[in-house]
Structure 1
Amino acid sequence: MSDKIEKEYAERFEQALNPIAADLENFLNEILAGVPRIDRVSARAKTVERFVAKADKKLDSGEPKYTDPINQIQDQIGARVVAFYKADLDTVSDRLNEYLRPIETQEVFPESEWEFGYFGRHYIFLLPKDVIPIGSRKEIIPRCFEMQVKTLFQHAWSEANHDLGYKMIEHTLEADDKRRLAYTSAQAWGADHAFNELFLKTAD
């Protein structure tokens, strides 16, 4: 990626993304007030280092994945809502859709029912005007942000796996290592369903 794009994003990060992420987190806490069993609500700007790494990604053909990363990468601001149980995810999602305008909605899960891995709900929402500082330069304000909605177990597994992912770049995983990862995901999936079923029984 060119130094020009890195410099452009660094300016956007300092002048727009960081302050907007802080205001967005407050905004989300306000609209989700009263929704039960929410563990945490957070929003943050993608760091310059991670933006550069994502902007530099290549397709299998070797061609750049992004031809205009500043305008194509949609998760320059990422938000997350972590709820206790799977039964709470619809309630959270319904409330978000009342106040925000979705561009994309995706239920993320492994391709095969025989596989375990990442689970979660991802949304791309238009950035609400309420969180854009008055007088901001229009050209450095992102059009949208990414929202992830997860349970506690989904969040815990994905955070640990994400952290390990950066370490895996320098180390080749053996077959048993990959099985261990799949095993931990299966355990998280099982715990998620067990706690949700117990919650539904006690809620009756």
Structure 2
Amino acid sequence: MTSVRTEYTKRHDEALGPIANKLDEYLRSLLVDVERVDRISTRPKSIDRFVAKAEIMKDGKLKYDEPLHQIQDQIGARIITFYTSDVERIAEIVLKYFRPIESRNVVPQKEWEFGYFGKHHILLLPMDVVSEDVDDSMRPACFELQIKTLFQHAWSEANHDLGYKPGAEPLNPDENRQLAFTSAQAWGADRIFNELFEKRMQG
């Protein structure tokens, strides 16, 4: 994976960073007057995380034959909002300006399980956010946009930090149950806050 790391490091520094900055500015301009947007962040995928993803094996072989072309979240953007009802509202606004490749709601596989929740979109990268001095061969075709509530965002960040440390021991069953419990609490808090908000709006 030395060559992939070397190539991606060059792409990360020379292309993805500048593109992410311009994409961030563009998203902020689209949502400047939109209510209940807590934050917007855009950044390139870290070198270590990209290499780790490029090394994923499936059925005894690498999942990605050409990771520099196949991995779609080399640039990731996040929009964090207050309430669950805001997620779809903001998605509708954003999708007026981007061409989607894929859109999906990420939820646990079974209804009695708790884990990560979020709305993910793979969107074509508009040429408006690519400077002329960026080598076209290093420009990704698309980027990933995640739209989440504050609770979804906080849980996923803490969960990733606790559960995916490089070289760390896997979480034991009891620790996984503790994380599931915190996910259930975040899910419940989202639901209660959204219900209270909608009642206030109706009143």
Report the equivalent of 2:22. 23
- The DSSP-based 3-state class of the residue aligned with 1:187 is helix
Alignment equivalent of 2:94, drawn from 93, 96, 100 = 96
**TM-score, length basis structure 2:** 0.96
- The DSSP-based 3-state class of the residue aligned with 1:99 is coil
Report the equivalent of 2:118. 120
Q: Are the equivalent residues in 2 in contact too, given 1:102–1:123 (CA < 8 A)?
A: yes
Q: Are the equivalent residues in 2 in contact too, given 1:79–1:146 (CA < 8 A)?
A: yes
Write the letter of the residue equivalent to 1:140: M
1:171 Cα deviation (Å)?
A: 1.8
Structure 2: runs of 5 or more not aligned: none
Write the letter of the residue equivalent to 1:21: A
Report the equivalent of 2:49. 50
In the alignment, the residues of structure 2 paired with residue 57 and residue 25 of structure 1 have an alpha-carbon distance, to the nearest angstrom, of 29
Q: Are the equivalent residues in 2 in contact too, given 1:35–1:91 (CA < 8 A)?
A: no
Report the equivalent of 2:65. 67
Query: How many residues were matched structurally?
Result: 202
In the alignment, the residues of structure 1 paired with residue 133 and residue 83 of structure 2 have an alpha-carbon distance, to the nearest angstrom, of 41
Mapped pair 1:9 → 2:26: no
Report the equivalent of 2:197. 199
1:172 Cα deviation (Å)?
A: 3.4
Residues 167 and 137 (structure 1), Cα distance of their counterparts in 2 relative to 1, 3 Å cut: closer
Mapped pair 1:130 → 2:128: yes
In the alignment, the residues of structure 1 paired with residue 168 and residue 32 of structure 2 have an alpha-carbon distance, to the nearest angstrom, of 43
In the alignment, the residues of structure 2 paired with residue 168 and residue 49 of structure 1 have an alpha-carbon distance, to the nearest angstrom, of 9
Backbone CA RMSD of aligned residues: 1.2
In the alignment, the residues of structure 2 paired with residue 78 and residue 21 of structure 1 have an alpha-carbon distance, to the nearest angstrom, of 8
Residues 44 and 176 (structure 1), Cα distance of their counterparts in 2 relative to 1, 3 Å cut: same
Write the letter of the residue equivalent to 2:34: V
1:169 Cα deviation (Å)?
A: 5.3
Write the letter of the residue equivalent to 1:75: D
Report the equivalent of 1:32. 31
